[in-house]
Amino acid sequence: MTLPRKDQVLSPREIEGLIAAGQSIVIVNQKVLRVDSWIPYHPGGHKTIQHMVGKDATDEFTVFHSEETIQMADRYQIGRIEGRWRNFVPPIQGGQFRPYIDDKAPSDSNHDAPTPSVINKSQPNDDDDGRLNPVRQAATELNTKEAMTFLDSQTKEEISLTLTRYPSLDEATQGDIIKKYQHLHDQIQAEGLYNCNYMAYAKEFGRCSLIFSAMLLFLHYGWYCTSAIFLGFFWSQLVFSAHDAAHMAITHNFTIDSLIGMIIAAPIGGLSLGWWKRTHNVHHIVTNAPEHDPDNQHLPFFAVNHRFLGNLFSSYHERLMPYTSAASRLVPYQAYLYYPVLMFGRFNLYVQSWIFLIQAQGPRKGPAWWHRHFEIVGNLLFWLWFGYGLVYRSIPTAWDRFVFVMISHMVTMPLHVQFTLSHFAMSTMDLGPSESFAQRMLRTTMDIDCPEWLDWIHGGLQFQAIHHLFPRVPRHNLRRTQKLVLEFCRDVGIPYALYGFVDGNQKVVGSLAEVSRQAAILAKCQRTIAERGDLLYGR
């Protein structure tokens, strides 16, 4: 069909037809944007956009992007809508869309009653949500009927409990939350909380320089274990600034912040900021969704939710995540393995970074086209100064080198705990496309309470819920932002999860232990079924 002019009103039925034809359509500030031509240039990867197709992405688009990018979006406008938009389920999440054939046919302009072919896959109580049907069908074949019944009953129970704790998903309630969240965003801007405190970063630079100098001093005197501890602490402290830069929270300039982040990540840390942005941006959009959030997909070591026991398909990795025999042996002990496994988390980051760079998974066009080449050179420099200069040339024996490498990497374990702490014990349920962005972020993320003088230890990561609501707010302003968010939560009735560091750890370990218990029940069901089969066939 012929695309309308920018000022022409498009009906939901027409937009559905465009998506059915394979076009990437998102709604931002009542404008209908076709972003297919932007996807290859998007620095945050294509999957973040795919999860917004067919949805009103106004809140997500506003809090993630600079004013310059927001203004640039107008060039992709192909029309506009009237009234409140009712979200579709994006194709990447299993949404089904009908072609728009007859312009004179009823257009279903009443968006309050969308067609069953679109919305029957998005109801919270519909456990068979149709995501990625061919592969999901294959995954289902790997499960017994009894096992799926058990997992489905757990899902229904968790959804029911979640719906009782959070505001209703009806249009009026969620519309009020959206309106007040947008007002909160304006208030944060008006109070200057997006403005960066550069003196705070000067102090960060001084602290990191002192830690690195201490590492070199102890290395010089042959105190290799102590030197390694300071090196690991140095890396952990730098990650906080790299995290800010990746979200454009320092200068709010894409090129400058990207350079800051990549210099910290690649030549100093041996990692790829591009890889991190690709996964982390998806995490921010579909937080804690088992099928979609790569930050929760850790089989065979961890099953964060019981749904991982049922052979899920990862839309991020585009492959099946089977609950293998290895997983069935490890998951029952995951509460005990949590801290030991995270001690080796940095080694996995090296592997994932090089896979990303070698396979050129980042954008090859647009403002980030050169990032891959910069990071490859940076990572080679890292292994030159760290691997050759520090470990090989400065440490005399193979054993001391091994101990130095292991300690320096294991010391970063608290950082990995901090990253997982705010999500592993929170809700993983998909409540459907009608849930507002603000409610979804607060439902899937917890904050860690600590005294202000300890903020530099946590690096702002203790304010994950605040950060998820406003990712571009510099971390030194998150504590002040928290006060406004608390008022917002009280006003709209959304619970704000805030735990002490010890209590938060206990909640995460307890959640992992609960999934282990469910895995044991599932294994018992499967053994019983196998024994019945043996009896049936006279074995």
> What pairs with residue 320 in β-bridges?
313
For the chain, state the CA radius of gyration. Answer: 24
In a domain, 223, yes or no: yes
Same domain, 67 and 180: no
Bin 45: left if φ > 0, else alpha if -120 < ψ < 50, else beta.
Answer: left
Same domain, 184 and 88: no
Indicate whether 42 pLDDT > 70: yes
- The pLDDT value given to residue 147: 57
For residue 322, whether the previous peptide bond is cis, meaning omega lies within 30 degrees of 0, is no
Same domain, 72 and 212: no
Same domain, 84 and 185: no
* Pick from 217, 349, 210: nearest CA to 271: 349
- As a 3-state breakdown, the chain gives helix, strand, coil percent values, each rounded to 5, of 60, 5, 35
In a domain, 148, yes or no: no
Q: How confident is the model at residue 114 (pLDDT cuts 50, 70, 90)?
A: very low
In a domain, 234, yes or no: yes
Hey, is 56 helix, strand or coil? strand
Same domain, 89 and 228: no
Q: In this structure, how many other beta carbons lie within 10 angstroms of the beta carbon of residue 312?
A: 24
In a domain, 440, yes or no: yes
Q: With contact defined as beta carbons under 8 Å apart, do 497 and 446 qualify?
A: yes
Same domain, 78 and 195: no
In a domain, 391, yes or no: yes
Same domain, 342 and 200: yes
- Token digits for 182? 């947008």
Same domain, 88 and 179: no
- Calculate helix-pair angle for 334-342, 501-536, nearest 10 degrees: 130
In a domain, 63, yes or no: yes
Same domain, 266 and 410: yes
- Token digits for 311? 């052979």
Same domain, 69 and 207: no
H-helix or E-strand spanning residue 376: helix 371-382
Give DSSP secondary structure letters for 386-454: IIIIIIIHH--SHHHHHHHHHHHHHTTHHHHHHHHHTTTTS------TTS-HHHHHHHH--EEE--GGG
Distances 86 to 113, 261, 365 between C-alpha atoms, Å? 9, 37, 33
Q: With contact defined as beta carbons under 8 Å apart, do 458 and 475 qualify?
A: no
- The pLDDT value given to residue 146: 53
Q: Which residue has the tokens 């025999």?
A: 325
Last residue of a domain, one of 93, 115, 136: 93
In this structure, the strands spanning 447-449 and 498-500 are parallel
* pLDDT tens by residue, 364-413: 888 889 999 999 999 999 999 999 999 999 999 999 999 999 999 999 99
Last residue of a domain, one of 93, 110, 132: 93
Same domain, 485 and 387: yes
Q: Which domain holds residue 190?
A: 175-492
How many structural domains compose the chain?
2
In a domain, 228, yes or no: yes
Instruction: Identify which has the larger pLDDT, 111 or 218.
Output: 218
Q: How confident is the model at residue 74 (pLDDT cuts 50, 70, 90)?
A: confident
Q: How confident is the model at residue 112 (pLDDT cuts 50, 70, 90)?
A: very low
In a domain, 481, yes or no: yes
Indicate whether 115 pLDDT > 50: no
H-helix or E-strand spanning residue 101: none
Buried b (16+ CB within 10 A) or exposed e, 56-76: bbbbbbbbbbeeeeeeebeeb
What CATH code is carried by the domain that includes residue 65? 3.10.120.10
Q: How confident is the model at residue 44 (pLDDT cuts 50, 70, 90)?
A: confident
* Pick from 441, 443, 438: nearest CA to 426: 443
Same domain, 388 and 282: yes
Q: In this structure, how many other beta carbons lie within 10 angstroms of the beta carbon of residue 192?
A: 9
Indicate whether 438 pLDDT > 90: yes
Last residue of a domain, one of 44, 59, 93: 93
**Residue-level length of the chain:** 539
Share of the chain above pLDDT 70, in %: 88
Distances 349 to 1, 269, 354, 431 between C-alpha atoms, Å? 46, 10, 9, 31
